[in-house]
Amino acid sequence: MKSKVKLALFSAVAAGIVSLPSMAQSPAEKVYVPHGKHDEFYAFLSGGYNGQLSVYGLPSGRLLKVIPVFSVFPMNGYGYSEETKAMLMTSHGFIPWGDTHHPELSQTNGVPDGRWIFINENNTPRVARIDLKTFETTEILEIPFSGGNHASAFTTPDTKYITAATRFSVPIPQKDVPIAEYKKYFKGTLTFIRADKPGKMDIAFQVLVPGFDYDLAHCGKGPSYGWCFFTSYNSEQAHTLLEINASMKDKDYIAAVNFKRAEECIAQGKYKEVKTKYAHNYRPDEGDRIARTEWKTSVKWIIPKECPGVVYFLPTPKSPHGVDVTPDGNYIIGGGKLATVIPIHSFEKMINAIKNKQFAGEIDGIPVLKYEAINHCEIPNPCLGPLHTEFDGRGHAFTSCFISSDVVYYDYKKCKVLGHVPTYYSVGHLMIPGGDSAKPWGKYLLPMNKITKDVFLPTGPELPHAGQLYDISANVENTKPQFLLDLTELGEPHYAQAIPASILEPKSLKIFELEKNTHPYATKSEEEAKVVRKGNIVHVYMTAIRSHFTPDNIEGIKVGDTVYFHVTNIEQDWDIPHGFAVYGARTSNLLIMPGETLTLKWKPEKPGVFPFYCTDFCSALHQEMQGYVRVSPKGSNVPIKYGTGEEMHTVK
Amino acid sequence: MSWISRGLIALASLIMIGIYFQPLWKIRLYAPQYPDGLGMIIWVNKITGKNPHDLQNINLLNHYVGMKKIDPNSIPELKILPVIFGFMIFLGLLTAVTGSKKLLYAWAVLIVLIGVASLIDFWWWEYDYGHNLNPHAPIKIPGMAYQPPMFGCKHLLNFKACAFPSTGTYILAVSGTLGVLSAFVEFLRGRKKA
């Protein structure tokens, strides 16, 4: 009897071991998400030169959404509708395009909390906040005194600040100078943006630094809370042929900024208030949902000489790209892209070196610490072209290597390389869910590559970028990460973030409550639909519901008028958007979510009768969801007349 | 009247108060594009959706086949029924206090009549709702009516409609049974005495 029990127990344990998913499942089984189930993670990949943010499900690699951020998006009218145009306003005017680089989830206690995701724009320096209830861009802040906002938008563990910095140093303030006088006029700024209050994003302060190229950033956590680290290259201060001239020195610097010290200096008045002009664009996620631009007029500058202790330079080989703080906050890993080692600095050593004044020199009032005094170790011969590092939360670091097209993973405390996995090809950044936070969900690794070549079916000269998904849930001390999937990417992802679906899925909004719509031109019932002329301006208060517009016949419009179609989708059902497009309108369509009001501006140029219709297949009678607007010649006396069905209203 | 009968009719009346707080009937509609179903909940004085906007969405779908809009404000029963049941509660309590057998028998007869009439009225309302269709409806299927079921499930085009009585109706059934039981006890006692 006893032996039978033992046998049963043994069999049960054996069966359990055999069915351990990480051991028994093939890559195909691991990435297959059957109908009725959802992905385990939301992943947010920047779109690079498409200016947007892509949302994927992991592990399936399914593209879920493209969130328009810095580029117009005719698919839903972002940047075209009257409600969203202001989002793309800058001190240079309306800009229809941007270059998105580094998405960063908001954090609480160093852990991604799923409130918002931030992302930077490199070309015309800006940062954006995306709300993760609506998955919409709600706020964009322009960064003055900057050129190429690359070391951005990295957060502090409490989301108090996000970072920005000049990748391209520029004359500060801007002025007409010979480029050859770079060293004399060109400067950099490291910017701290207050980010924890939606609608109130603002520049807290800028630290003025030498004219290097400031590349990437990450903020400290745990013991290193209060500091943010920025890599720099071109400490040679070259202004031409940088590939040679900015690669002379065998070490550049990581700038370590003590933002608590900066706060002290501001409190003590040790700053300079500088006049400038930059845009703050905000589109509330409820209420009228109309984007407005607020013009800001000054920033606070902190000059390191006048605020000693605010910034130190950590020598780091060579032209470093990534600067990544370990989850415990103790180590700072530089991605020395031209270095033959991966340098790991110790935060504790850095603090001691500052205390003991172990300085190797000073640049513009910024002490340069001694490399030997701060360095924890150098990972020897890691790979070629180490760029960027993320962590699995179990003591391991994963660094992407551009030149050798692989990822090296190692024990960062013991400085011991554990292995390599290939990428296809020339990996840029990589991502582990929560991999730059205090508590990574170390299940997957996603290297994102710059070169695709033969990975997918070819599509002419222009190919999609490729990413590879690896399973790193097994102990990488003795088990190699398992290659799961190639996924196609939109634009060029420069970085990504991922968060468990269980955090975001429950709070994803289904509809906008029509009752809470406070848009001044909202039409909340068909009875309220109307057409109102004010001089040459005509406002159409229109409703859309399955399967008609009210009004769907409009007369009395004249050439020379400006017509605003304010279309309210009065549906209150999940996933019933309506589209709206007008023949010949030199703008995009509108995609109006249930309960939302969007406005299309149209300047009819010739007389005639022009159709409009619903562009989103909404219902069985979608094809019938159409209408006409009659345009009469300038000066004609056709009265305003409108309606749907039998009820036509004439305005006298 | 015995204390038992008085107690029973008092209890029947007090239980009946519950129908103001519990729904009488629930109708659920399932379709492929509504995996969680749309729901309509009928109360003694109102009709609501299972989710905030279900009623609007049911009306929206129904207009394609020409069904009338369900507008709780234009259904007189929702205004009459609360008064009728209020009266029955009052009458029941009055019976218990006065101990009048006549009132008790009247109560028992009335509650049976009200119950039967309500069910017939509900059926008729469903019949009218499912048959009295707008001749200009975009979707017309010859011979098709959309009368929802009263008990159980039924396929209506792409929807599966299911209807079942809910807590309020069960409360009424218990209340009515107790009242009728009370009348029955009195009736038997009367015969014994004679």
Q: Give the whole-angstrom CA distance, residue A615 versus residue A625.
A: 9
Q: What's the token pair of residue A139? A: 């706020």
Q: What is the pLDDT of residues B140-168, one digit of tens each?
A: 999 899 999 999 999 999 999 999 999 99
What is the torsion angle, in degrees rounded to the nearest 10, for the CA atoms of residue A381, residue A387, residue A391 and residue A392? -80
Q: What is the pLDDT of residues A377-408, one digit of tens each?
A: 999 999 999 999 999 999 999 999 999 999 99
Mean pLDDT on B68-95: 95
**Using the 8-state DSSP alphabet, how is residue A581 labeled?**
E
Asked if the model's pLDDT at residue A19 lies above 60, the reply is no
Chain B residues whose beta carbon lies within 8 Å of the beta carbon of residue A620: 64, 138-139
Coil, helix or strand at residue A466: strand
Q: Give the whole-angstrom CA distance, residue A565 versus residue A582.
A: 10
Asked if the model's pLDDT at residue A199 lies above 90, the reply is yes
Q: What backbone torsions phi and psi does residue A243 show, to the nearest 5 degrees?
A: -60, -30
B56 and A CB contact within 8 Å: yes
Asked if the model's pLDDT at residue A630 lies above 50, the reply is yes
Q: What is the pLDDT of residues A573-582, one digit of tens each?
A: 999 999 999 9
What is the 3-state composition of chain A as percent helix, strand, coil, each rounded to the nearest 5? 15, 45, 40
* CB nearest A573 (choices: B57, B138, B139): B57
∠ CA(B151), CA(B152), CA(B158), 5° rounding?
125
* CB nearest A572 (choices: B56, B64, B138): B56
Chain A residues whose beta carbon lies within 8 Å of the beta carbon of residue B57: 572-573
Q: How many CB pairs under 8 A join A and B?
A: 19
Chain A residues whose beta carbon lies within 8 Å of the beta carbon of residue B64: 619-621
Mean pLDDT on A278-307: 98
B139 and A CB contact within 8 Å: yes
Q: What's the token pair of residue A398? A: 């994963």
Percentage of residues in chain A having pLDDT higher than 90: 95
So what's the pLDDT on residue B192? 82
User: What is the Cβ-side half-sphere exposure of residue A639, based on CA atoms within 13 angstroms?
Assistant: 7
**Nearest-CA residue of chain B relative to A546?**
B60
Asked if the model's pLDDT at residue A484 lies above 70, the reply is yes
Q: CB of A620 within 8 A of CB of A537?
A: no
Q: What's the token pair of residue B165? A: 């009585």
Q: Give the whole-angstrom CA distance, residue A480 versus residue A419.
A: 7
**Using the 8-state DSSP alphabet, how is residue B138 labeled?**
S
Give the strands of the sheet with A311-316, arranged side by side. Answer: A213-219, A227-233, A252-258, A311-316, A366-369, A359-363
Asked if the model's pLDDT at residue B49 lies above 90, the reply is yes
Is the pTM above the cut of 0.90?
yes
Residue A458 β-bridge partners: none
How many of the other CB atoms lie within 10 Å of CB of A70?
29
How many of the other CB atoms lie within 10 Å of CB of A645?
12
* CB nearest B53 (choices: A545, A572, A621): A572
B60 and A CB contact within 8 Å: yes
Give the ranges where A343-496 is alpha helix by DSSP (H): 347-355, 371-374
Chain A residues whose beta carbon lies within 8 Å of the beta carbon of residue B31: none
Residue A63 β-bridge partners: A56
List strand residue ranges (DSSP E) for A225-316, in order: 227-233, 252-258, 272-282, 292-302, 311-316
Chain A residues whose beta carbon lies within 8 Å of the beta carbon of residue B48: none
Mean pLDDT on A479-486: 96
Q: What is the pLDDT of residues A212-236, one digit of tens each?
A: 999 999 999 999 999 999 999 999 9
Q: Give the whole-angstrom CA distance, residue A517 versus residue A523.
A: 9
Cβ contact B53–A624 (<8 Å): no
How many of the other CB atoms lie within 10 Å of CB of B126?
17
Cβ contact A546–B139 (<8 Å): no
Residue A599 β-bridge partners: A566
**Nearest-CA residue of chain A relative to B35?**
A36
Q: Give the whole-angstrom CA distance, residue B104 versus residue B42.
A: 29
Q: Would you call A274 exposed, middle or buried from its count of C-beta atoms within 10 A (0-12, 13-18, 19+)?
A: middle
So what's the pLDDT on residue A5? 61
∠ CA(A542), CA(A546), CA(A551), 5° rounding?
25
Q: CB of B104 within 8 A of CB of B9?
A: yes
Mean pLDDT on A567-572: 98
Q: CB of A547 within 8 A of CB of A578?
A: no
Asked if the model's pLDDT at residue A68 lies above 60, the reply is yes
Q: What's the token pair of residue A539? A: 């406002």
Coil, helix or strand at residue A216: strand
User: B133 to chain A, minimum CA–CA distance in Å?
Assistant: 18
Cβ contact A624–B138 (<8 Å): yes
So what's the pLDDT on residue B190? 86
So what's the pLDDT on residue A326? 98
* CB nearest A546 (choices: B53, B60, B139): B60
| Type of residue found at B29 | L
User: Of A436, A260, A256, which is closest to residue A350 (Cα–Cα)?
Assistant: A256
**Nearest-CA residue of chain B relative to A595?**
B53
Confidence of residue A2 (pLDDT cuts 50, 70, 90): low
What is the 3-state composition of chain B as percent helix, strand, coil, each rounded to the nearest 5? 60, 15, 25
Confidence of residue B1 (pLDDT cuts 50, 70, 90): confident
Q: Which residue has the tokens 């929802």?
A: B148
Q: CB of A119 within 8 A of CB of A153?
A: yes
Mean pLDDT on A192-220: 98
What is the torsion angle, in degrees rounded to the nearest 10, for the CA atoms of residue A618, residue A624, residue A626 and residue A627? -150
Q: What is the pLDDT of residues A96-140, one digit of tens each?
A: 999 999 999 999 999 999 999 999 999 999 999 999 999 999 999
Pairing label, strands A202-210, A292-302: parallel
The two counts, helices (H) then strands (E), for chain A are 9, 46
Residues 6 or more apart whose Cβ sits within 8 Å of residue A247: A236, A318, A319, A338
Confidence of residue A646 (pLDDT cuts 50, 70, 90): confident
Q: What is the pLDDT of residues A316-337, one digit of tens each?
A: 999 999 999 999 999 999 998 9
Residue of A547, A548, A573, A576 for testing the chain B interface, max B β-carbons within 10 Å: A573
Distances (CA, A) of A113 to A106, A132, A141, A498: 6, 10, 22, 11
So what's the pLDDT on residue A635? 93
Q: Give the whole-angstrom CA distance, residue A632 versus residue A629.
A: 10
- The ipTM assigned to this model is 0.86
Give the strands of the sheet with A482-489, arranged side by side. Answer: A427-431, A444-449, A465-471, A482-489
Q: What's the token pair of residue A143? A: 């960064």
Mean pLDDT on A471-486: 95
Cβ contact A572–B57 (<8 Å): yes
Distances (CA, A) of A406 to A48, A419, A422, A426: 21, 10, 4, 7
Coil, helix or strand at residue A387: strand
So what's the pLDDT on residue A600? 98
Q: Give the whole-angstrom CA distance, residue A482 versus residue A475.
A: 11
Q: Which residue has the tokens 């300079």?
A: A272
Confidence of residue A20 (pLDDT cuts 50, 70, 90): low
Percentage of residues in chain A having pLDDT higher than 70: 96
Pairing label, strands A562-569, A537-545: parallel
Mean pLDDT on B88-99: 96
Distances (CA, A) of B105 to A53, A419, B2, B110, B171: 74, 91, 14, 8, 20
pLDDT, chain A, mean: 95
Chain A residues whose beta carbon lies within 8 Å of the beta carbon of residue B138: 620-621, 624
Asked if the model's pLDDT at residue B8 lies above 90, the reply is yes
For A343: left if phi > 0, alpha if psi spans -120 to 50, otherwise beta; the answer is beta
Asked if the model's pLDDT at residue A648 lies above 50, the reply is yes
Cβ contact B57–A621 (<8 Å): no
User: A572 to chain B, minimum CA–CA distance in Å?
Assistant: 6
User: Of A392, A438, A443, A439, which is closest to residue A418 (Cα–Cα)?
Assistant: A392
Q: CB of A448 within 8 A of CB of A498?
A: no
* CB nearest B53 (choices: A573, A619, A621): A573
Residues 6 or more apart whose Cβ sits within 8 Å of residue A648: A553, A641, A642
Give the ranges where A340-420 is alpha helix by DSSP (H): 347-355, 371-374
So what's the pLDDT on residue B193? 74
Q: Give the whole-angstrom CA distance, residue B1 versus residue B184.
A: 11
Coil, helix or strand at residue A476: coil
Mean pLDDT on A345-349: 98
User: Of A494, A504, A501, A483, which is closest to residue A45 (Cα–Cα)?
Assistant: A494
Residues 6 or more apart whose Cβ sits within 8 Å of residue A649: A530, A531, A551, A641, A642, A643
The two counts, helices (H) then strands (E), for chain B are 5, 5
